[in-house]
């Protein structure tokens, strides 16, 4: 099944999306994250969706404002594509290759769950940024709480998938990563999810012998294709990523786990690193980015002007007095 969160006549709803775009609203449900907490995983969610189909249909998706499918409780963004690491490392750090440590574990960072955008939303340029980039990813959504999971157990905790766009201010990111703490404001302004949550059972037909989902990925800027890849080029499965995320802690319903950016043009920075020049150029207001994932759908957003940064002083150089 496909589930959408949407706004219609100033009210928020959750509905099942039919192939023709007809929505079947779930009675009394305004948050898919809350519904996941209540249903306890995929079987309960499918039961709720089946019940919604027993009532008269609601509006068509073209008549509503689509919202992010879930409002995440936490967002972990992984980096699981070698090709992406190679290209971006060259662009951001000026170094070639993949660090050997990268292969040791599916590394991730936490990004901002309070800056989630939906399909067709305008994406503001981050304050002070001049080098804006998109990142084409797929996200797994957690449907059941779990701790210290094995990859086999983790499969039962993944309720579905959605398209994930990790908007990145490369100039801010490059500067702050010199401190050694990873990206912060370079990734803090916007993440887009959508258009729908596609339940995990819908994509099982695409699973290969190694457990990867073989889905075609495409990125377009202003209607021109700039990148294409396969999701199965990941170096870890979503189940392995979920198991790692749950190590020593919990994953909860509504948590989002991004695959990391795909290769072969899954972002501009990778292309800049390979080409030695900013071609295509950084995104500017008016540019429209469309990310398409086989079996899930297309996610489109247009860049809009952002705000100017509030001035702050430079850090003080202290004389380090002691009491």
Same domain (yes/no): 142, 279: yes
24 within domain boundaries: yes
Same domain (yes/no): 52, 114: no
Kindly report, residue by residue over 45-97, the tens digit of the pLDDT: 999 999 999 989 999 999 999 999 999 999 999 999 999 998 877 776 777 78
Same domain (yes/no): 60, 79: no
**pLDDT for the residue numbered 204:** 97
Same domain (yes/no): 282, 133: yes
317 within domain boundaries: no
Q: In whole angstroms, what is the distance from residue 152 CA to residue 199 CA?
A: 18
Burial class (CB in 10 A: 0-12, 13-18, 19+), 214: middle
**pLDDT for the residue numbered 95:** 78
51 within domain boundaries: yes
Query: Among positive and negative, which fits the CA dihedral 316, 318, 322, 323?
Result: negative
**pLDDT for the residue numbered 212:** 98
Same domain (yes/no): 18, 48: yes
Kindly report, residue by residue over 11-30, the tens digit of the pLDDT: 999 999 999 999 999 999 99
Instruction: Report the chain's mean pLDDT, rounded to a whole number.
Output: 96
Same domain (yes/no): 187, 259: yes
322 within domain boundaries: no
Q: In whole angstroms, what is the distance from residue 251 CA to residue 141 CA?
A: 10
* Domain-terminating residue out of 49, 67, 85: 67
Same domain (yes/no): 51, 195: no
* Domain-terminating residue out of 16, 42, 67: 67
295 within domain boundaries: yes
Q: How many domains does the chain have?
A: 2
Same domain (yes/no): 226, 277: yes
The phi and psi torsions of 42 (rounded to 5 degrees) equal: -60, -50
Strand pairing class (2-8; 65-67)? antiparallel
User: Which residues contact residue 43 at a Cβ distance below 8 angstroms, ignoring those fewer than 6 apart?
Assistant: none
**What CATH number has the domain bearing residue 105?**
3.90.850.10
Structural domain range at position 46: 2-67
Burial class (CB in 10 A: 0-12, 13-18, 19+), 317: exposed
Same domain (yes/no): 92, 31: no
**pLDDT for the residue numbered 65:** 98
Report whether pLDDT(128) > 90.
yes
* Domain-terminating residue out of 32, 67, 102: 67
312 within domain boundaries: no
**pLDDT for the residue numbered 182:** 77
Say what the pTM is: 0.96
Kindly report, residue by residue over 135-166, the tens digit of the pLDDT: 999 999 999 999 999 999 999 999 999 999 99
Dihedral (C-alpha) 240, 244, 249, 253: value to the nearest 10 degrees?
-40
Same domain (yes/no): 161, 88: yes
218 within domain boundaries: yes
**pLDDT for the residue numbered 269:** 92
281 within domain boundaries: yes
Same domain (yes/no): 236, 184: yes
Report the percent of the chain where pLDDT is more than 90. Answer: 91
Same domain (yes/no): 203, 270: yes
Kindly report, residue by residue over 188-205, the tens digit of the pLDDT: 999 999 999 999 999 999
């Amino acid at each position: 099944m496909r589930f959408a969160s949407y706004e219609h006549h100033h009210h928020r709803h959750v509905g099942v999306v039919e192939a023709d775009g007809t929505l079947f609203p779930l009675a009394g449900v305004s948050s898919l994250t809350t519904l996941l907490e209540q249903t306890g995983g995929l079987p309960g969610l499918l039961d709720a969706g089946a019940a919604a189909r027993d009532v008269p249909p609601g509006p068509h998706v073209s008549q509503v404002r689509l919202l992010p499918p879930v409002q995440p409780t936490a967002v972990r963004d992984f980096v699981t594509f070698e090709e992406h690491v190679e290209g971006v490392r060259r662009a951001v750090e000026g170094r070639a290759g993949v660090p050997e440590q990268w292969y040791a574990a599916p590394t991730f960072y936490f990004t901002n769950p309070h800056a989630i955008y939906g399909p067709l939303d305008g994406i503001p340029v981050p304050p002070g940024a001049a080098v804006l980039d998109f990142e084409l990813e797929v996200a797994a959504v957690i449907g059941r709480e779990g701790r210290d999971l094995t990859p086999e157990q983790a499969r039962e905790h993944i309720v579905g998938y959605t398209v994930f766009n990790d908007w990145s201010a490369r100039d801010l990111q490059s500067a702050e990563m010199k401190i050694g703490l990873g990206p912060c404001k370079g990734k803090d302004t916007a993440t887009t999810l959508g258009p729908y949550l596609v339940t995990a059972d819908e994509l099982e037909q695409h699973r290969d012998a190694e457990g990867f989902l073989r889905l075609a990925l495409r990125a377009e800027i202003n209607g021109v294709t700039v990148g294409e890849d396969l999701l199965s080029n990941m170096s870890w499965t979503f189940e392995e990523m979920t198991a790692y995320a749950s190590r020593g802690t919990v994953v909860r319903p509504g948590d989002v786990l991004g695959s990391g950016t795909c290769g072969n043009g899954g972002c501009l920075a990778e292309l800049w690193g390979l080409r030695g020049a900013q071609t295509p150029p950084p995104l500017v207001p008016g540019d429209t980015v469309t990310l398409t994932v086989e079996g899930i759908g297309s996610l489109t957003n247009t860049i809009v002007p952002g705000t100017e940064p509030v001035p702050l002083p430079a850090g003080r150089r202290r004389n380090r007095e002691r009491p």
